[in-house]
Structure 1
Amino acid sequence: MAEAFLGIVLENLSLLIQGEIGMIMGVDEEMNNLFSTLTTIQSVLEDAEMKQLQSRPIQNWLLKLKDLTYEIDDILDECATELSKLEHRNSKSSRYSLKKLLFRHKIGRRMKQVTEKLDAVAAERSKFHLREIAVERPNEFAATRETGSILNESRYIYGREEDAEKIVDILVNQVNDNQEITILPIIGVGGLGKTTLAQLVYNDPRVVEHFDKLIWVCVSDDFDQKTLVKGMIESGGGSASDLVHLDALQRVLWELLNNKRYLLVLDDVWNDDQEKWYELRNVLASGRGGSSIIVTTRLKKVADIMGTLAPHYLKGLSDEHCWMLMRERAFGQEKQEFPNLEAIGKQIVSKCAGVPLAAKALGGLLRFKRTEKEWNYVKESEIWELPQEETPILPALKLSYHHLPLSLRQCFAYCAVFPKDSQITKEELIFMWMAHGCISSKGVLEIEDVGNQICDELLFRSLLQYVPDTYKPTLIMHDLVHDLAQSIMENKVPGTQVQRTNFRSASSNSKIRQVNLQEKFILFPTSYQPEMDMPLVLKNFLRLRILDARWTRIESLPCVVGNLKHLRQLNLSGSCILTLPDSICSLWNLQVLNLDYCRELEALPKKIRDLINLRHLLLQYCRSLREMPSKIGELTSLRTLSLFIVDRNRGNRLEELQCLKLGGNLTICHLERVENPMDAKKTNLAEKENLRHLYLEWEHENTASKSSGEEDIERDEKVLEALEPHPHLETLDIKGFGGRHFPVWMSNSTLAKLVKIYIQGCDNCLHLSQLGELPHLKFLRLTNLARVEYIIEDESGNRLTSVQQFQSLEKLYLTTLPKMKGLLKEQVMMGSAPKAFPNLKELNIRDCNSLIMASLSKVDRNAPTDLYVDFKEKLTCITIETNLKKLTIKKAKK
């Protein structure tokens, strides 16, 4: 981990030197000396990190180096901040001010001091006999393990019978007639038993009988085609000992496989170079139909490149199967029973997290231990604290880490700051990486895009996993992978109420970079956390990059928060905060200000536009907020502004959104205050390609004025027409719109990604746009539409026969539509209609007292549908041509 962060610091230092910041600040010599020493140390870090597992002195050396690296990072951050302020002020005189001279003197002194410390640390490396290696080859020392196809039948295998049966069936029965080679990837984290499963399949009698030739090759790090082809020839019974050239090897392999149905196992594949795989695949094309390849890998990216079938994801074993494995290793063939030890052993199983390697390793550790004290020691110890020479768990998993590019190592190790089983949204994790300088923008890519790519890469490598069925993309880390991250971080995350540190073993509070003011670090708290001593925190932790006070009871922030010059992220979401101090506007480096669910927040600081590096201002559900600070459009770095409140004053109009490259969610409130529809056009929503969710709200004073003011009605229609979004929009929510007709763009088939629409409180609306033409609309909710009579109708008078309506819709909710007669106008008027809603799974109708007919026909009659209808006497017919999953019919109260 020291190597990964040192690479980031070196990159930052190089950029500062190239920008001649050292010359401007008068510390050019100091910066170059730092760069030279850091580069020298970097050359031996890969070797040091590999050897630290066996050497406590090297571990201590790396800890000292890591601590110094963070100190250097803070100094560089202060230099970059000071220069940024000077450039922003655009004042040449300020370069020679007394304040500038004092800053130069202070920074110069600190750089000399830290360079002296670094030189002393660098001098120590010689006594460890560390080898200098090229940083471009970070994997040279990665441990490898060659595997074979032989399955020891005397060894028990538990919990993999169903996996093996499924794969054997695919190979022997399902792809038997395929003319092209079938490639089946098996994916799982290290130690999960991918190789064992492949051996189980490889040696199955049905497989042995089915294939003419069986070949096994352990690939590991080296995807050299010559080496692999030679290995295939030898495993297949041929001879390649006297062959040197690749062409000769390829010809022998071609002949060996020619017109034979073969099974090839490529075990432990790491290569994600498509060209290398395509070259090898061409050589394997000589086999006859039904030939298959099994690929075992930890990386989803490898499976995507090589696989022709959907990958087989290997899951963890049950606790019962893990215990059977561990018991076999711990007790062997002993007949004597140890009930007390077994009781402890079953508790130890929870540490295995379903990973067979862990169960076997822990069982082996306990093999000759027969006292409760010894077994309790293992139970109470974290896996990374157990003797490395006795437990191969972490070395096996660490191979995944050493295969990571340097740019990903720091991001992976950072995940150790979260407790086991913590869930965190993808967005929040990226924000945290940004705050600690783990990622930076590259070329045309925004820094958030880079973070998203890194997340995806860690997912591909099975180092992170998605949590299913969550509102936002949410991530979790396998327990043993979390152990790996913590072993790399080399310090446990304290679970104290006041602080949670990361990245360094802090010798003083001033070095702590991240503070959470919660008793537990949880994403969606269910209750408020106790109020903390915020002044104490702000006084003692001056190097904070992240201050997380979500869901605390604090009502105000002390003014000294403005002293946190390094702060990148301030999270006050769900707190009882009423106002923010003006000093917050001096947080020059602040990137994320999270005020979501601050329901008591009444105002934002007037000079918030001074936060020129602010990228994300999160204000969802801040219902007490009545106005926006003036000229928020000057925050040109903003990428998220989740709430904008329209005002008639200049500086608070919709034109403030014009130049902002906003994405994510955007709610625009009080659109009734827009006096000129041309102002709405200035929002430039059609150019905001990263905007995914748009919420538009009008709050007319009362229904009477809305229905009687013709001018207001026409203005609302023109305003909504001008707010046409980019085709990438996914969710549209309209509330309180006073017009009679929705704009044409709402039925535009170019909105190909629109999947959800919610329309409510639009009392003047007479007709819905042709929403049924939206190709991917899956969810539609209509609430409190006083005048709408039909969901589907053609205002031009033409029959709806050319386009199947609502072809992708799965959920339809209709609530309080007092004049709605039916879903389709033609159905009510003529008794028949074109097919619509072919994929509807859930229909919910409530308080629609004029409903006459609701008839649906489905293409898939086996798809389940939930139906709830709340009606009065006028309902004459409900027809659902499908197999209902749930049907509720309720007569409403008169």
Structure 2
Amino acid sequence: MAEALVSVVLEQLVSIARKQIGEEVRLVVNVDREVENLIFHFNAIQAVLQDAEERQVKEARVRNWLRSLEDVSYDINDLLDEWNTEILKHQIEQEEKEGVALTKRKKVCLFIPSPSVCCGRGPIDKVVRRHDIAKRIKETHEKLTDIANSKQNYNFHENTIRATEKLERAETSSFVEVSSIIGREEEKKRLMSMLLSESSQQERSPFVVIPIVGMGGLGKTAFAQLVYNDDENIKTHFDTRIWVCVSDPFEEIKIARAIAQALNKDDNRINSTSLQPLLECINEYISGKKLFLVLDDVWNPTIDNWEPLMGALQNSAIGSRILVTTRKETVAAVMGATADHVIHLNILSDQDCLQLFNKIAFFDRERDDQLEVIGRKIVKKCNGLPLAAKTLASLMRYKKNRQEWVDVLDSKIWDLKEIEQQVFRSLFLSYYELTPAIRRCLLYCATFPKDYEFNKHELIQLWMSNNYLSTEGDKEKETLRGQSYFDNLVMRSFFQDFDKDDEDNIESCKMHDIVHDFVQFLTKHECIVMEVGCDNERNKVLNDKVRHLCLTSISDGSFPVSIYSCNRLRTLLASRLRLSALSLDIVLQLKCLRTLDLSYNLITDVSKEIGVLIHLRYLNLSWNLKLEELPDTVGNLYNLQTLVLENCRALKTLPVTTRKLINLKHLNLEDCDSLKVPKEIGRLKNLETLHGLILYDDVDENKGLIKLGDLGNLDQLRDIWICNLKSVQDVSEVNKALFVNKKNLNTLLLNFDQSMDASESEEGELQREMDEKILNAFQPHTNLERLVIGNYHGLTLCLNWMMSLHSLKMLVVGFLPFCELLPPLGKLPSLEYLTIDDMKSLKKLGIDFLGIDDQLETPTILFPKLKKLRFESMVKWEDWEGVEGHREGEDSEIKLMPSLSTLTIKSCPNLKAVPDFLWKTPLQKLVISECENILQGCETASGREWDKVSHIQNIKINSKYVQKDGVRMEPETTEIS
């Protein structure tokens, strides 16, 4: 990790040398010379770091040298960050004082300028001297000098320039997903036979345990997932399917809670910290049900901790199955599996391994005979391990010429004897191809436990909080750079098991347990995952070398004592530990924190001393349901970039001092139902995301709260969710928000939050008119890509500005009880995803919806890029018209929806028919449910709608797939949502 860390510190030093030597730094005696010397030594060290990073695996003395370098680099990083923070603090204090004076003279509000505004000379030298910056810089410089001089003892080679940066900038989200399992046909056939047979009726237990045993990297989990997601057999055969990631250690309480939560997430017993209530919950809800339970990645169960779970599962129905994946043969015996029920997963044949390799390595390009010959030799080094083949193939996909392929084949990494895991050699090859910054982002993932589900956006914010995404002079693009880094790791196969949103964008992912072993191998002294409140807290040595710590499992509501030795900790993840407070002692002990996650706890009080955490960039207090207020000292966290308060439902207001968080980029207030937001939030000019902003009526008791007009200066906004728009009674507030000028805005969610019924009262009519005025005034910039409109009570949605959104990709309109007419959405050139939900008054979709009118020029294409179309809860919808005479020729002048792949129609009971033009679309998936009038027409070849839908590969009617010619269509493993 030293290579990326040195880059970050060098950036800080160069910034100070360029921007501050002539101003603040000169006020500290001789410090300018010290800074120059630090830059000189870091440049000299950086030149050999690539060689040092690669040699540390084999040479312990090089590894120790790198650790010393990391220690002093962290110290300098903290020192420079503290220095910059003090300067920023002084600047803000001066502006606050000037603001008070200005307000008294002119009675106007002060606007806080951006942090780039220079502060004057004045008392800044006192601030710097007070923190003894000069002395500490000299001390760290002496340490660095020793380290720089000692590098000559190792005969390091200087770095060669990397050629991968171009790839990382050019590629965005292009990657290969290997959805099929290669070379496991016989094993799958045998496993399916065991799962679907009724042989357990002769057994003493209602269920059979079936272990899948094999070494790491063989694809045990992927094989189990293939079976678990089988629509045709498994999903219809079992009443309940449950997947639990176990890992090491085998914690019966944790496993029992996961099972109980899957059976009934609303049962209060799932929050119990003791085993018995959880077992009772399982026993109750599993009664008489045929269960398919997968226990993934089981390591070390004992009879004592397995038997209680087994006893609770005895109440399941005959034919239940427990599928276990494990690397250890002994697990099968402990869990009661018989020898004839064990499936041994062996290595792939050379032919199968080569097929997997070629599928990825030559994706989207022509085969090359020379490269294929080299590829066969590389595949032999994979030793039949699918993960190794997949990782190497993802690497070779971006190698364009023969010499690059030969370099991988001849790499010295294949000769590493120090690596226990064979697949690690393949991972090292891909790892060293990454730039230092992306390596550091990957290694940070070692902070999380195995099988952790990473939320992409959260992970990017965590990377940002640790300064992994920073580039001098380009701070505003950190989020985009984080997205690029994430995509790069996806393309290199470091992530897997993707969950996607409606637009096929990755929302979350996991890391293969071998990849997790790999990143932990490289960070074992720096990144620690520790289970607290149980015996597994043993064997974890915590000291000041630990920089990133994740606490998991059940706690007694307090931090473990051992954490107090981690006084240089930068990341503390302490979610779901039943903590009741962020106490004074923990704050004062961990002053180096950049990242603090206290979500899903029982916190009622945050110590006012939190203001001393001046390095803090990320603070997550979400799902602390009893938290009512934050201290004013939160305003002292000048470096804070992300503040997450989602579902803090008792939180009443934000402190006015929040205005001082001028580096804040992400503010999440979603589902903070009681929260009243002060108008000062409108001063945070660096805000990029603002979720869950609730507006209130401008009455006396709500004076000082934020209004739409206060958002006018937030020009960096990329994503905003606005709630309770019904409270806006002045259209000028919408105009002052200047959404038309926000060129960076990507996503806009507008929720009117109206609870009124569909009556025709005078009050309701006035509100409907106001809704229309407000929405029509809400013209965003034409760069907008996603628009969501909900709980809108206007009569029409014919917005002129919507037709100007040439970049709009996704549109969702929902809960529009009075609206009967939609705009001509077919004219939107970029629209790919359209959802229309709960428009209770709409009766007909006609040619106006498609965009056909007298001014339409032909030939033309309407809905040219639409991929997914969804209608739901349209209770009065009867007619869906297309274009008359569309069957008269293939050369029709009007083409409709030529890119449509998925159509979903749910709870539209009065819809009479699907439109005739569907037969011309390239539809691949059709989902219909609770639509009585059209269901039978689409089910069989004799149905009246069949000629319109017969070309569709996957048709799902009321959760069942339609059969063609007596043969059930083979669906994909991913269910259509």
- Mapped partners of 1:169, 1:117: distance in 2: 51
* Structure 2 equivalent of residue 685 of structure 1: 739
* Bigger Rg, structure 1 or 2: 1
Determine the structure 2 residue equivalent to 1:56: 60
Looking at structure 1, the residues matched to 66 and 639 of structure 2 have their Cα atoms a distance apart, in angstroms, of: 29
Amino acid aligned to 1:60: N
State whether structure 2 residue 482 is matched by structure 1 residue 412: no
Give the CA deviation at 1:569. 0.3
Q: Which residue of 2 aligns with 1:524?
A: none
Equivalent positions of 1:233-382 (< 5 A) are 298-302=395-399
Partner of 2:788, secondary structure, is strand
Kindly indicate whether the alpha-carbon contact (under 8 Å) linking 1:441 and 1:450 is maintained by their aligned counterparts in 2: no
CA contact (8 A) 2:798 2:822 kept: no
Confirm or deny: 8 A CA contact 2:444 2:527 kept in the other structure: no
8 Å CA contact 1:837–1:858 kept in 2: the answer is no
- The 5 Å alignment of 1:101-250 reads 102-104=129-131, 106-126=132-152, 128-131=153-156, 133=158, 158-162=348-352, 164=354, 183=368, 194-196=378-380
Deviations 1:78-119 (CA, angstroms, capped at 9, x unpaired): 111111223334477984379626525x22232233333334
1:531 to 539, 562, 579: 579
Q: Return the match for 1:661 from 715, 737, 744.
A: 715
| Alignment-derived partner of residue 510 in structure 1 | 567
User: Which blocks of at least 5 consecutive residues in structure 2 are unaligned?
Assistant: 96-118, 165-345, 548-563, 885-891, 938-942, 961-977
The change in CA–CA distance for 1:706 and 1:516 in structure 2 (over 3 A counts) is farther
- Contact 1:191–1:393 (CA under 8 A) maintained in structure 2: no
8 Å CA contact 1:688, 1:725 repeated in 2: yes
Deviations 1:781-809 (Å, cap 9, x if unpaired)?
44443432212254999689976765636
- 1:879 equivalent in structure 2: 945
Query: For each residue in 1:661-710, what CA deviation from the matched residue of structure 2 results, as whole angstroms up to 9, or x when unmatched?
Result: 34553221222232332321332333434433322122456345776565
1:23 counterpart = 2:26: yes
RMSD: 5.0
1:317 alignment counterpart: none
Q: Secondary structure at the match of 1:550?
A: coil
Residue of structure 1 in register with 2:796 after alignment: 741
Kindly tell me: are residues 779 and 462 of structure 1, through their superposed partners in 2, closer, same or farther at Cα, counting changes over 3 Å? closer
SS at match of 1:734: strand
Q: 1:47 to 1:161 in 2, by over 3 A?
A: closer
- Which of the residues 527, 543, 548 maps onto 1:493? 527
Deviations 1:713-753 (A, max 9, x none): 44322321221233443433222323222133476274443
CA distance 1:817–1:731, shift in 2 (3 Å): farther
- Is the Cα contact below 8 Å between 1:629 and 1:652 reproduced in 2? yes
Aligned to 2:590: 541
Which residue does the alignment assign to 2:879? 822
Aligned mate of 1:553, from 574, 586, 602? 602
Q: With structure 2 as the length reference, what TM-score do the two structures score? A: 0.61
Q: CA deviation at 1:564?
A: 0.6
1:719 paired with 2:774, answer yes
Q: Compute the displacement of 1:434 (Å).
A: 1.6
CA contact (8 A) 2:813 2:835 kept: yes
Q: Which amino acid aligns with 1:534?
A: L
Q: Which residue of 2 aligns with 1:457?
A: 488
In the alignment, what sits opposite 1:256?
none
Name the structure 2 match of 1:234: none
Q: CA deviation at 1:516?
A: 0.9
- The CA distance in 1 between the partners of 2:573 and 2:77, in whole Å, is 22
**In 2 relative to 1, CA 390–742 (structure 1 residues): closer, same or farther, beyond 3 Å?**
closer
TM-score (norm 1): 0.66
Counterpart of 2:507?
473
**SS of the counterpart of 1:112?**
helix
Identity of aligned residues (%): 27
Give the aligned partner of residue 204 of structure 1.
none
One of 436, 457, 466 as aligned partner of 2:466: 436
Residue 634 of structure 1, CA deviation? 0.7
Taking the aligned partners of 1:47 and 1:861, their CA distance within structure 2 comes to 53
Q: Superposed, which structure 2 residues align to 1:732-881 within 5 Å?
A: 732-745=787-800, 748=803, 750-763=805-818, 765-775=819-829, 777=831, 779-794=833-848, 808=866, 810-818=868-876, 820-824=877-881, 839=900, 841-846=902-907, 855-856=915-916, 857-860=918-921, 863-870=924-931, 879=945, 881=948
**Per-residue deviation, 1:854:** 5.1
Distance of aligned partners of 1:530 and 1:194 in 2 relative to their CA distance in 1, 3 Å threshold? farther
Q: Distance in 1 between matches of 2:655 and 2:863?
A: 46
Structure 1 residues 17 and 182: CA distance shift in structure 2, 3 A: same
Preserved contact between residue 897 and residue 921 of structure 2 (Cα < 8 Å): no
The more displaced of 157-166 and 540-549 is 157-166
**Which residue type is aligned with residue 78 of structure 1?**
E
Structure-1 separation of matches of 2:486 and 2:48: 28
Q: Equivalent residue for 1:652? A: 706
Q: C-alpha displacement at 1:13, in angstroms?
A: 1.1
Please report how far the alpha carbon of residue 572 of structure 1 lies from its aligned counterpart in structure 2 after TM superposition: 1.7
Alpha-carbon shift at residue 645 of structure 1 (Å): 2.5
C-alpha displacement of 1:582: 1.6
Number of equivalent positions: 685
Match for 1:110: what amino acid?
A: R
Structure 1 94/705 Cα, relative in aligned 2: closer, same or farther at 3 Å?
A: farther
Indicate yes or no: 2:591 matched with 1:564: no
Conservation of the 8 A alpha-carbon contact between 1:770 and 1:792: no
Native 8 Å contact 1:401 1:409 kept in 2: yes
- Counterpart Cα distance in 2 of 1:24 and 1:448: 35
The CA distance in 1 between the partners of 2:733 and 2:157, in whole Å, is 63
- Which 10-residue stretch deviates more, 500-509 or 729-738? 500-509
Mapped contact 1:790–1:821 kept (Cα < 8 A): yes
Deviation string, structure 1 residues 466-493 (Cα, Å, up to 9, x no partner): 7254574334444444444333335263
* Aligned-partner Cα distance in 2 for 1:394–1:2: 20
Residues 52 and 58, structure 1, Cα contact 8 Å, conserved in 2:
yes
SS across alignment from 1:413: helix
For the 8 Å contact 2:419–2:425, the answer to whether it is kept is no
Instruction: Please give the alpha-carbon distance, in whole angstroms, between the structure 2 residues aligned to 1:296 and 1:824.
Output: 49
Distance 2:816 2:359 in 1: 56
Distance, in Å, in 2 between the alignment partners of 1:185 and 1:772 is: 49
Once the two structures are overlaid, the 10-residue window that deviates more, 593-602 or 748-757, is: 748-757
Letter in 2 for 1:53: V
Shift in CA distance, 45/778, structure 1 to aligned 2, threshold 3 Å: closer
State whether residues 823 and 848 of structure 2, in contact with CA within 8 Å, keep that contact through their aligned partners in structure 1: no
The code of the aligned residue for 1:866 comes to V
1:837 Cα offset (Å): 6.6
**Cα distance in structure 2, aligned partners of 1:701 and 1:164:** 60
Q: Report if the CA contact (8 A) 1:619-1:641 is conserved.
A: yes
Is the 1:458–1:464 Cα contact (8 Å) retained in structure 2?
yes
Deviations 1:226-245 (A, max 9, x none): xxxxxxxxxxxxxxxxxxxx
Q: How far apart are residue 514 of structure 1 and its match?
A: 0.7
* In structure 2, C-alpha distance between the alignment counterparts of 1:601 and 1:776, rounded to whole Å: 40
- Which residue pairs with 2:193 in the alignment? none
In 2, the alpha carbon distance for the partners of 1:166 and 1:495 equals 33
Query: Counterpart amino acid of 2:464?
Result: M
The one-character-per-residue Cα deviations of 1:734-775 (angstroms, maximum 9, x if unpaired) are 223232221334762744433332221342x23222234335
Structure 1: gaps spanning 5 or more residues: 140-155, 201-267, 271-294, 307-311, 313-355, 365-385, 519-527, 828-832
Flag the 1:400–1:682 CA change in 2: closer, same or farther, 3 A.
same
Q: CA deviation at 1:163?
A: 6.2
